[in-house]
Amino acid sequence: MQAYNTNDPKLRSFIEVPSGHPFPIQNLPYGVFKPNANAPERVGVAIGDQVLDLSVLDGAGYFAGTPLEGQGVFAQPRLNAFMALGKTAWTAARQIISQALDSESPKLRDDVALRQKALYSISDVTMMLPAAIGDYTDFYASREHATNVGTMFRGRDNALMPNWLHLPVGYHGRASSIVTSGTPIKRPSGQTKADTADAPSFGPCRLLDFELEMGLFIGPGNELGQAVSVDEAHDHLFGMVLVNDWSARDIQKWEYQPLGPFLAKNFATSISPWVVTMEALEPFRVPAVAQDPEPLPYLKASYPSTTYDIDLQVQIRSSGMDGWQTICRSNYRHLYWTAEQFVAHHSVTGCNLRPGDLLASGTISGPTPDSYGSLLELAWRGEKPIELTDGSQRKFLQDGDQVRLTAACASDHYTIGFAPVEGSITPADPVS
């Protein structure tokens, strides 16, 4: 069983997966779904245009003899229990699922009755949030993004704050308003103050923005008081999703000093429904950005640091447009701080991370203007509006706009895709 490589490009499933499809047998992302409105939620993997119900495989004894046996983790309405089992269990599950779907393996392929119970068309199921997210932290790990925002607000000479190159800056976000792809985003209202005004006023956000990010789900986590070292950190990472950290820039500008983002970020954060595992991303590891100055020892791995080559796009579609328009092309590898450093830094005080916690990267901007991961940067605070194909311009999002983030790792052999994360802007409540 150890010789079976779930990333082998030669693997094919008996379920047909067209070339370039985001969910080949080498991906096997986990999600929580409802087969119909009355059925309980359960865990599945995406394979091509189908979903494999893992609670059915578990019921048929497929996971006997592994750490999953008798745990019932795939009949749960969220992935937390599976995430908590840790890497040995994840590897065992992935091997069994991959072998079950392998065209060379007759066990499931030839079991017509079980296949009928276990497979659904992906278009027929409803995707739920993959995890009960107890805590959500958002980092600020793109040097380009931090430099752009700092340049706009403090000038290029003081763009990066003195701490930025020494620690991964972050803030504790709001977990309760994390929603899955497709959930409409209501324009928030709040308190803002124009530079020229004497006093603040209350009303709908006028500078609504997206942020292109990715999020990491925590696996087993750590006990309170027990830090996770940077060398151990990788084993605590279960998988990744796309994250859109919707942001109200005018609310943010007035409220953020001295304690950072608050209501500007707490009204909604959208994530993609399928969690791509670190094991599926393994072939797409690349060297991390060189760090200068050298980080303090607790942030410095004993091995060469790596990150992931994941192509990212932001697309927009106004109510007047026939199709999507790509307005940003970036890549996860541009981030300065690594996922392992997020975990080591977050827990170094003894803060306990728990299964299902979400650590988001911060806006992932690249070096070129077409790779900036927010409208604030793409339109440079409104000075360079984005031209849309319907003839309109965007400095910030308008009601009716849809935003879609996409992510994929492409090799010569197959694509590891993420499900897109989408959201549309609906009008603010009337202010009485």
Rounded CA-CA distance 231/302 in Å is: 7
145 a catalytic residue: yes
Backbone angles phi, psi at 197, to 5 degrees: -85, 150
Minimum gap (Å) between residue 211 Cβ and Ca ion: 4
Residue 430's contacts (CB-CB under 8 Å, 6 or more residues apart) are none
By beta-carbon proximity to Ca ion, the closer residue of 341 and 363 is 363
Helix (H/G/I), strand (E/B), else coil: 208: strand
| Piece of 19-27, 30-38, 242-250, 336-344 that binds Ca ion (CB under 5 A) | 242-250
| Piece of 193-201, 210-218, 395-403, 420-428 that binds Ca ion (CB under 5 A) | 210-218
By beta-carbon proximity to Ca ion, the closer residue of 211 and 250 is 211
Does 211 sit near Ca ion (CB under 5 A)? yes
Q: Which residue in the set 102, 138, 401, 422 belongs to the binding site for Ca ion (CB under 5 A)?
A: 138
Minimum gap (Å) between residue 361 Cβ and Ca ion: 8
- Name the token pair of 181: 């792809």
Rounded CA-CA distance 188/204 in Å is: 6
Does 144 sit near Ca ion (CB under 5 A)? no
- Report the largest interatomic distance among the alpha carbons of the chain, rounded to a whole angstrom: 74
Helix (H/G/I), strand (E/B), else coil: 385: coil
Q: Which of residues 243-302 bind Ca ion (CB under 5 A)?
A: 245
How many residues line the site for Ca ion (CB under 5 A)? 3
Contact present, 98 and 287 (Cβ < 8 Å): no
Minimum gap (Å) between residue 241 Cβ and Ca ion: 14
Contact present, 307 and 278 (Cβ < 8 Å): no
By beta-carbon proximity to Ca ion, the closer residue of 169 and 379 is 169
| Piece of 134-142, 224-232, 280-288, 329-337 that binds Ca ion (CB under 5 A) | 134-142
Does 209 sit near Ca ion (CB under 5 A)? no
Quickly tell me which residue has 């605590």 as its tokens: 236
| Piece of 97-105, 161-169, 237-245, 344-352 that binds Ca ion (CB under 5 A) | 237-245
Minimum gap (Å) between residue 187 Cβ and Ca ion: 18
Spot the catalytic one: 145, 236, 345, 346. 145
Quickly tell me which residue has 């003899």 as its tokens: 65
By beta-carbon proximity to Ca ion, the closer residue of 192 and 244 is 244
| Cβ-closest position to Ca ion | 245
Alpha carbon 321 to its chain's center: 27
CB burial of 53-72 (b: ≥16 within 10 Å; e: otherwise) equals: bbbbbbbbebbeebbbeebe
Residues that bind Ca ion (CB under 5 A): 138, 211, 245
The residues that are catalytic are 145
